[in-house]
Amino acid sequence: MGSVLLWSGMFRLERKLVYLSAACLILFYLQVSVWADPQSDSLERELVALLSHSQLKGARVGISVVSLPEKEPVFNYNDEELFVVASNMKLFTTAASLVYLGPDFQFETTLYTQGNLCPGGKLEGNIIIKGGGDPNISGRFYDGRSTAILEEWARALKGAGIKEVSGDIVADDTRFDRQYVHPNWPKDQLSRWYCAPVSGLSLNDNCVELTVLSQGDGKAKVLLEPDTGYVKVFNSCRVGNSKKGSKLVVRKKPGSNDILIKGEVSPKRLPLKYFIATDNPPHFLASVFKEVLE
């Protein structure tokens, strides 16, 4: 019984992301510092005018403007309320990663074989994929081909003389915990790409990409990326000349990987793309890898 390392892939924290985030922060604070001049009598009127804009109707807004370096409050509005940080959290996550991990940190994913390789090329054992939290096992750098890295793994196995596997594909996601979905995320949005589960081993942002096309005769066809049987698509969508544009409903059945697409869409709107979150990220990756090997 042995364990053999066949493939090791890494993703580096790019410095240019650091510069972009820093530039955004600098521009933001420069703008606020200039705009929030405590000598300006019009500041409060300008902010109140912005807050009364129709586009902010129904929104929750909090503002705290402080003069520098005196640290004197200039304008406050709901400044003691608590708000969801949302996508602004990316700035703090990036900053913390650079401080504690450094700009040269690399995520590492490894592919192992476990067991004995027989002379005929049969592996009497398992293939183990050990995740390291890499967010880029995807088509992001491969012209959208989400299985490109998995194809590298398959070539590594072939190069090692493996033609058959008697055991399992073991997806090891233990780098992170198994709370894939936060309990406070909105239950009616868990199929959206921005609510995709988080895992130590992920594929394609833990989403499938659906492309809706016309196949003629008023029917629509749906392409999957990756093209996998891990999800099932139930398509009753039609292509029509509706003047109101698309009336498509794309919904994933909760607790499953069944995706329903129905409604009617104008051919002028095609192709349409949707990104739907999948359940159980390591199982998703292992299942697609099995299909790549086959």
Q: What is the pLDDT of residue 5?
A: 55
- The answer to whether residue 16 scores a pLDDT higher than 50 is no
| Per-residue b or e along 9-38, where b marks 16 or more CB atoms closer than 10 Å to that residue's CB | bebebeeeeeeebeeeeeeeeeeeeeebee
Least confident of 49-63, 116-130, 258-272: 49-63
Pairwise CA distance, residues 220 & 63, whole Å? 48
Amino acid at 39: Q
Residue 129: name the closest of 232, 274, 47, 8 by CA. 8
The structure tokens listed for 288 are 């697609």
Q: What is the pLDDT of residue 91?
A: 92
The structure tokens listed for 200 are 């130590």
Confidence of residue 37 (pLDDT cuts 50, 70, 90): low
Contact by Cβ (8 Å): 114, 124: no
Torsion 28-34-40-46 (CA) sign:
negative
Q: What is the pLDDT of residue 57?
A: 84
Residue 232: name the closest of 199, 258, 202 by CA. 258
Q: What is the pLDDT of residue 60?
A: 86
> What angle do helix axes 281-293 and 148-159 make, rounded to 10 degrees?
50
Q: What is the pLDDT of residue 244?
A: 62
Least confident of 67-76, 104-113, 207-216: 67-76
Q: What is the pLDDT of residue 255?
A: 84
Amino acid at 183: P
Highest mean pLDDT among 25-34, 76-85, 235-244: 76-85
Pairwise CA distance, residues 169 & 292, whole Å? 12
- The answer to whether residue 26 scores a pLDDT higher than 50 is no
pLDDT digits (tens, 9 = 90+) for 127-145: 999 999 999 999 999 999 9
Mean pLDDT of the region 6-20: 46
Contact by Cβ (8 Å): 9, 149: yes
Confidence of residue 61 (pLDDT cuts 50, 70, 90): confident
As a whole-number percent, the residues of the chain with pLDDT over 90 amount to 57
Q: What is the pLDDT of residue 70?
A: 85
Mean pLDDT of the region 2-19: 47
Pairwise CA distance, residues 36 & 253, whole Å? 49
Place of tokens 């709107």: 269
Q: What is the pLDDT of residue 59?
A: 85
Mean pLDDT of the region 18-31: 39
- The answer to whether residue 177 scores a pLDDT higher than 90 is yes
- The answer to whether residue 62 scores a pLDDT higher than 90 is no
Q: For residue 231, which phi and psi values (nearest 5 degrees)?
A: -115, 150
Alpha helices in the chain (DSSP H): 15-35, 43-51, 89-100, 148-159, 281-293
Mean pLDDT of the region 195-220: 93
Q: Is pLDDT larger for residue 76 or for residue 42?
A: 76
The structure tokens listed for 151 are 């194809």
Q: What is the pLDDT of residue 217?
A: 83
pTM value surpassing 0.95: no
Task: For the chain, give the number of residues.
Answer: 294
Contact by Cβ (8 Å): 65, 75: yes
Using alpha carbons, list the distances in angstroms from residue 57 to 33, 49, 85, 88, 94.
Answer: 27, 13, 20, 21, 32
Pairwise CA distance, residues 258 & 239, whole Å? 22
pLDDT digits (tens, 9 = 90+) for 234-280: 999 999 876 665 688 899 988 889 999 999 988 888 999 999 999 99
Contact by Cβ (8 Å): 292, 284: no
The structure tokens listed for 14 are 């790019």
